[in-house]
Amino acid sequence: MPKAAARSAESYRKETFVGNARNIAFWVVLFLLILALFNLFSGGQSTSSSRTISYSDFIERVDNGDVASVTLDGERVQIRGKDGSQYVAIKPAGEEVTDRLIANNVEVRAEAQEQSGFFSLISLWLPFLVLIGIWIFFMNRMQGGGRGGAMGFGKSRAKLLTEKQGRVTFDDVAGIDEAKEELEEIVEFLRNPQKFSRLGGKIPKGALLVGPPGTGKTLLARAIAGEAGVPFFTISGSDFVEMFVGVGASRVRDMFEQAKKNAPCIVFIDEIDAVGRARGVGIGGGNDEREQTLNQLLVEMDGFEANEGVIIVAATNRKDVLDPALLRPGRFDRTIHVPNPDIKGREKILSVHARKVPLGPNVDLRLIARGTPGFSGADLMNLVNEAALLAARVGRRFVTMDDFENAKDKVMMGAERRSMVLTADQKEKTAYHEAGHAIVGINMPKCDPVYKATIIPRGGALGMVVSLPEMDRLNMHKDEGKQKIAMTMAGKAAEIIKYGEEGVSSGPAGDIQQASALARAMVMRWGMSDAIGNIDYAEAHEGYQGNTAGFSVSAETKTLIETEVKKLIDEGYQTAYRILTEKNDDFERLAKGLLEYETLTGDQIRRVIAGEKLEDDEDDKPSVGGGSIASIPKTKPKVIKADGGFEPTA
């Protein structure tokens, strides 16, 4: 660790020394109290177990020869008679009895008075020690060990990140090269400011990391801490929020005071939307405590007094709710987008997470990357971990491609529920339903290639057909949308063709929901309906995506929207019905193949349709299938993305 960071860490440790000293003092006092109480109780028990006699009676017994031994403990005389009885007498002050005891052949012992005096002193001060101990205990609890307790509400909870927490560098960050380059420049500025300042450049005051969950925003911040060589404070946005007005603002002030003492330094605020939400938004205005905290944060970042050498790095996946004043240059000079990685990024991320995993010779990380579009860095880390767990479960020494394929199916589609008992009729209907999806998907040129079909229950589905795009999908075209609706409605068309109108089940419920979501997006958001035109009705349409806010539309417009949506869905259903009728032989062969093998990959589906017989153990071998492994959406239904993209059918 560089000297500046080391000095900062040392000063930060000194700040907590007082709190630790209070803890040690409390336990020392508690130990002494227990020791004193034990002595009192043990003394009281010995006193209560011995009979007390008068001094004159004691002298008389000595003269009569009834005393065997005596222990002198100051003015207290412990006596043991020749008959084994024990009793106690109190000797008058200044009275000497030793010569008489020796003259009567009585064994005499004496207790050291220093120890007795010590415990007598403890007993005398016991009430005061109890009060002091209670006071120290409650003060320690209120101070919370030094910061942030009842006596320290206004103290910052920012923690100094050191290498003890596990050093992360930019080598550990992959798949988000553009974001990494932006932050590497900040690190370079801290290391060599003259390189930029000689041309009039100023160090950025803040960088905001924006992206979906799991894309590596916090990991990037930790990499900055590992590379920068300057003190790095980390805090969560929720740590500023309290029920008392002014506490959050006080914590902001204290955090920046710490940062100024350790400048140049970096302060990382995770989930800044907890405190940086736009002011005055919502019913009844905003939260006064949060707004005052935000006001103080704005002033400290770029107010009347400049904070030289203090860089704020924040992360959020809700940039849309942040206050505009927080986003302006001078506060957050840079907004760095951290998106889900592309195919090259996924391959790099997989290689990073697979460093500590022994891989088999048949593992192709690029092939796995092609089959996982839309996966975030956290999803890929989970995929590698699941593959390692599956390999360990069967006792392998390394992770094979089969383990990655099974792990991918588990992550995307859910765990197999082989224990679920399906009747022959349910299994048959599921096979024909999924065969309908697969046949239409194969015969529609704009549909993504079919990757796998199964009638083994996974997650909440009795079966599913998974289609994979050839490459990462960035947008959706009208003809593609229509063909996807046809593939989605093929399950219901297959059931009607096989079992008739009265034999259709509730299985197509999820398909109808997915087709409706896609059709509504095409009509209301993407301007793909000539009757509706190029107008965004998504927020205006009541009930769309649970959003009833926004301007209202007329009843005629609502009717027209629903008519266009129904038109697209009906057209897709008729297309699927026509294809299944024309390809009825292929449809029947694939359904029977699913009943026999339960799970078929893309190549196996084509061979079953062609009437070929699969090998006995071929259906048990995981395969990348279809020759076109690309991304697969996670096991969610079709989801209309906020950016207008569309996840394929799962």
Is 548 marked as binding a ligand?
Answer: no
Rounded to the nearest 5 degrees, what angle is found at the Cα of 182, between the Cα atoms of 224 and 297?
Answer: 70
Q: Please indicate, yes or no, whether residues 552 and 532 belong to a single structural domain of this protein.
A: yes
Whether residue 633 lies inside any domain: the answer is no
**Which residues, 6 or more positions from 291, have their beta carbon under 8 angstroms from its beta carbon?**
279, 280
The structure tokens listed for 492 are 């219901």
Query: What is the rounded CA–CA span in Å between residue 183 and residue 206?
Result: 11
For the chain, what is the domain count?
4
Is 469 marked as binding a ligand?
Answer: no
Residue 72: CATH number of its domain: 3.30.720.210
The pLDDT assigned to 456 comes to 83
Is 211 marked as binding a ligand?
Answer: yes
Is 215 marked as binding a ligand?
Answer: yes
The pLDDT assigned to 440 comes to 92
Whether residue 152 lies inside any domain: the answer is no
Q: Please indicate, yes or no, whether residues 453 and 555 belong to a single structural domain of this protein.
A: yes
Is 437 marked as binding a ligand?
Answer: yes
Coil, helix or strand at residue 96: coil
For 27, 143, 226, 479, the CA distances from 137, given in Å and listed in that order, are 9, 10, 38, 73
Residue 177: CATH number of its domain: 3.40.50.300
Whether residue 391 lies inside any domain: the answer is yes
How many CB atoms are located within 10 Å of the residue 340 CB? 21
* Pairing status of strand 232-236 against strand 265-270: parallel
The pLDDT assigned to 336 comes to 87
The structure tokens listed for 29 are 């006092």
Is 433 marked as binding a ligand?
Answer: yes
Q: Please indicate, yes or no, whether residues 372 and 512 belong to a single structural domain of this protein.
A: no
**Which residues, 6 or more positions from 414, have their beta carbon under 8 angstroms from its beta carbon?**
458, 459, 460, 461, 635
Is 162 marked as binding a ligand?
Answer: no
Q: Please indicate, yes or no, whether residues 374 and 499 belong to a single structural domain of this protein.
A: no
Whether residue 434 lies inside any domain: the answer is yes
Q: Please indicate, yes or no, whether residues 474 and 608 belong to a single structural domain of this protein.
A: yes
Is 622 marked as binding a ligand?
Answer: no
> Of 434, 495, 564, 598, which one is the catalytic site residue?
434
Q: Please indicate, yes or no, whether residues 253 and 134 belong to a single structural domain of this protein.
A: no
Residue with tokens 């919502």: 282
Whether residue 630 lies inside any domain: the answer is no
How far, rounded to the nearest angstrom, does the alpha carbon of residue 353 sit from its chain's CA centroid?
A: 18
Choose among 613, 560, 624, 215: nearest CA to 401. 624
> How many helical (H) and strand (E) elements, i.e. helices and strands, does the chain have?
22, 14
* Residue where a domain stops, chosen among 112, 146, 180: 146
For 108, 287, 288, 321, 332, the CA distances from 248, given in Å and listed in that order, are 73, 12, 11, 19, 20
Q: Please indicate, yes or no, whether residues 67 and 171 belong to a single structural domain of this protein.
A: no
Q: Please indicate, yes or no, whether residues 256 and 292 belong to a single structural domain of this protein.
A: yes
Q: Which segments in the chain show pLDDT lower than 70?
A: 1-23, 25-26, 29-30, 33-50, 94, 112-124, 126-128, 137-166, 242-246, 281-287, 303-307, 470, 539-552, 616-650
Residue 615: CATH number of its domain: 1.20.58.760
Is 337 marked as binding a ligand?
Answer: no
Coil, helix or strand at residue 197: helix
- Is the CB of residue 528 less than 8 Å from the CB of residue 522? yes
The structure tokens listed for 570 are 């009906």
Whether residue 538 lies inside any domain: the answer is yes
- Burial of 246 per CB tally in 10 Å (0-12, 13-18, 19+): middle
The pLDDT assigned to 635 comes to 33
DSSP 8-state symbol, 147: S
- Is the CB of residue 573 less than 8 Å from the CB of residue 493? yes
The structure tokens listed for 206 are 């803040």
Ramachandran assignment for 85, one of left (phi > 0), alpha (psi -120 to 50 degrees), beta (any other): beta
Q: Please indicate, yes or no, whether residues 406 and 432 belong to a single structural domain of this protein.
A: no
Q: Please indicate, yes or no, whether residues 96 and 81 belong to a single structural domain of this protein.
A: yes
Ramachandran assignment for 570, one of left (phi > 0), alpha (psi -120 to 50 degrees), beta (any other): alpha
Residue 390: CATH number of its domain: 1.10.8.60
**Which residues, 6 or more positions from 368, have their beta carbon under 8 angstroms from its beta carbon?**
346, 350, 383, 404, 408
The structure tokens listed for 646 are 């569309």
Whether residue 35 lies inside any domain: the answer is yes
User: How many Cα neighbours within 13 Å face the side chain of 415?
Assistant: 7
Is it true that the peptide bond before 648 is cis, omega within 30 degrees of 0?
Answer: no
Name the amino acid, one letter, at 116. S
Query: What is the rounded CA–CA span in Å between residue 356 and residue 385?
Result: 11
Is 341 marked as binding a ligand?
Answer: no
Whether residue 1 lies inside any domain: the answer is no
Query: What is the rounded CA–CA span in Å between residue 491 and residue 594?
Result: 14
Q: Please indicate, yes or no, whether residues 140 and 28 belong to a single structural domain of this protein.
A: yes
* Residue where a domain stops, chosen among 337, 359, 382: 337
434 is catalytic: yes
* Residue where a domain stops, chosen among 337, 360, 381: 337
How many CB atoms are located within 10 Å of the residue 490 CB? 33
Range of the domain at 371: 343-413
Choose among 299, 277, 302: nearest CA to 205. 302
Q: Please indicate, yes or no, whether residues 388 and 297 belong to a single structural domain of this protein.
A: no
Is 216 marked as binding a ligand?
Answer: yes
What is this structure's pTM?
A: 0.63
Coil, helix or strand at residue 529: coil
